Amino acid sequence: MMRILRTWEGNIEREIEKFKQQLSILDGLSTSRSTVLKIIQDVRKRGDKALVSYSKQFDKVSLSPDKFRVKESEIEDAYRRISLPFIKAIQRAITNIEAYQEHIKISKVGSLKANGVSLDTFYTPIDSVGIYVPGGSASYPSTVLMNAIPAQVAEVRKIVMTTPPAKDGAIPPERLVAAREAGVHEIYRVGGAQAIAALAFGTETVPKVDKIVGPGNVFVTIAKKEVFGYAGIDMLAGPSEVLIIADNLANPSFVASDLLSQAEHTPGISILVTFSESLVEKVIIELKQQLSKLKRSDDTKKYLAKYGVIFLTKNIDECIEIANTLAPEHLQIITENPRNIQTRIKHAGAIFLGPYTPVALGDYVAGPSHVLPTSGTARFSSGLSVNDFLKRTSVIAYSKSALKDTYQDVLEISEAEGLDAHSRSVQIRLNLLKEKTQSEPKGVHD
C-alpha cells in the first residue's frame, strides 16, 4: 500500500534523492513543451479562433466566442442550484481569508532620511490579474477563494477567471458562486494551456492581464512557465503533497485520514515520517479500513501506492532532517510537543500543529492561501498572499550637497565598470552648481 523506507537500511540518502526527483516539477515538463509552445503561438496569432479549436479538441465542447464569457444570468441560476449552507460556508471562509490577508498586508513604511538624502517606498496593486481554476472531477470553489481574495485585499482593479467547462459548456455552480462571492469581475469558460496564452496575450474576447495565478495540470504549468515575462506568474505548481511527522503518541486514525486526504488528489503525495514502528503498523491497518469508505477509493489507493512513502527513522532528529530535506508543501506535526518541533523546521509551505489541525482546514477555511510551493520549492519560495499582488516602488531624492558628497563614490564605481557617462551625469550637475555659486554675489548661499 505504501512503501516503507528504514533509515538504517541501505543508502537512505540515495532513496531520498530518488524520491525528490519523483516529486520534481521540472523533470516532467520537457516532453510536453513543444505541444504547449504550439498552442501558445497559435492563440497569440489566431486569438478566439484558436480558443474555439482547442476547446473542441481538449474539452470536447463546441463554443463560439460569444459563449466564452459567463453571463450574469448563469451566475444567478447557479445560486438557485446550490444550498444556503454552502453559501454560508463560503462566506465564512471568505471572512477568515480576508482577515488573515489584511493582517499580513505590507503596510506603508516611513521615509529614510539622512544628510540630504530621502528614500521612500510605496506599494501599489497590480492592475489586472487572471485566475486559473482547474476543472476535472472536482469543482474547486476553494481554489477560487484562495486566489481571488488575496487579490481583492490588495485592491487589484480587475480580476478575471478562466476555467474549463464541461462537455455541455457548463461551469459547476459552486465555482460560479465562489467567484461571485470572492469578487471576481469576469469569468471565461476556457481551460488548459490555451487559457494561459489568452490571459498572457489577450484575444478578441479574453482580456490580457498583468499576472496569472492558480494551479493546473502539466500543460497549464508549462504554459505559465513559457509566458512568464509577458505576464507575471505565481509559481510552478506540482502535485499536492503532505509530510506528517508523528510520534508514538499520535492517533493512527488521524494520521491515516490525513495521508488519504492528500492521496485523493489527482495525483497526491502522502509521506509519513516517524520513529515509531508500532504507529506504522496501526496506520497501515487504518488506511485499509478508511479506504473502503471513500468515494474515490480506487484512485486514492492507486496514488497512495505510487506516491506514498513511510520513512521509519531512528529518532525524532532524523524525522526533522528528512522534513527539511524534502521541504514539503504541507507539513503536519502530530507529536507530544509540536511547537518544539516546529522551531526546528526550516522549509515548508504551511505547517499544521497538533492532532486537531488537519490540512483540510488550510485547504478551505483557516485564512492563509492554500496555493503553496510544491516539489521542494519551499526551500526558496512562499505561498500566495496579498503581497504577491502588490508592487514595490522606490522613490529617491538627493539634495545638492548630498550629490556633491557622493560624487567620488559614483566616479570610482562607474570607472571600474567603464561607464563614464554615469559619472558625467553627476559631474555636469556639479559643474553647473559650481558656476552658479561663482556667479553669485558674496553672502548669497544655497
The whole-number pLDDT of residue 446 equals: 46
CA distance 235 to 238: 9
254-293 pLDDT, tens digit per residue, is 999 999 998 888 778 899 999 999 999 999 999 999 988 8
Structural domains present in the chain: 3-25+238-367 (3.40.50.1980), 30-237+387-392 (3.40.50.1980), 399-439 (no CATH)
Q: Which of 17-26, 85-94, 175-184, 431-440 has the lowest mean pLDDT?
A: 431-440
Burial class (CB in 10 A: 0-12, 13-18, 19+), 113: exposed
Is it the case that residue 443 has pLDDT exceeding 60?
no
Percent helix, strand and coil across the chain, each to the nearest 5:
50, 15, 35
Nearest-CA neighbor of 242 among 212, 211, 271? 271
Distance in Å from the first CA to the final CA of the chain: 81
The SS3 assignment for 249 reads coil
The whole-number pLDDT of residue 435 equals: 64
**H-helix segments, 202-329:** 218-227, 252-263, 277-291, 297-307, 316-326
Q: Where are the beta strands (DSSP E) in 165-223?
A: 186-188, 211-213
Percent of the chain, pLDDT > 90? 78
Is it the case that residue 444 has pLDDT exceeding 50?
no
Sheet holding 330-334, edge to edge: 3-6, 309-312, 268-274, 240-246, 330-334, 350-353
214-244 pLDDT, tens digit per residue, is 999 889 999 999 999 999 999 998 888 999 9
192-201 and 218-227 helices cross at what angle (nearest 10)? 20
The whole-number pLDDT of residue 205 equals: 97
Mean pLDDT of 356-385: 95
Mean pLDDT of 368-376: 93
Question: DSSP characters for 35-79?
Answer: HHHHHHHHHHHHTHHHHHHHHHHHS-----GGGTBPPHHHHHHHH
296-340 pLDDT, tens digit per residue, is 878 788 888 888 899 999 999 999 999 999 999 999 999 999 999
> β-strand 112-114 against 117-125: which pairing, if any?
antiparallel
CB atoms within 10 A of CB 89: 14
Is it the case that residue 359 has pLDDT exceeding 50?
yes
CB atoms within 10 A of CB 376: 19
77-92 pLDDT, tens digit per residue, is 999 999 999 999 999 9
Q: How far is CA 101 from the centre of its chain?
A: 14
Catalytic residues: 329-330
Cis peptide leading into residue 173 (ω within 30°): no
CB of 117 closer than 8 Å to CB of 397: yes
CA distance 211 to 129: 5
The whole-number pLDDT of residue 437 equals: 62
Question: What's the whole-number average pLDDT of the chain?
Answer: 92
The whole-number pLDDT of residue 130 equals: 98
Number of H helices, E strands in the chain: 17, 14
C-alpha gyration radius of the chain: 27
90-142 pLDDT, tens digit per residue, is 999 999 999 999 999 998 888 999 999 999 999 999 999 999 999 866 678 99
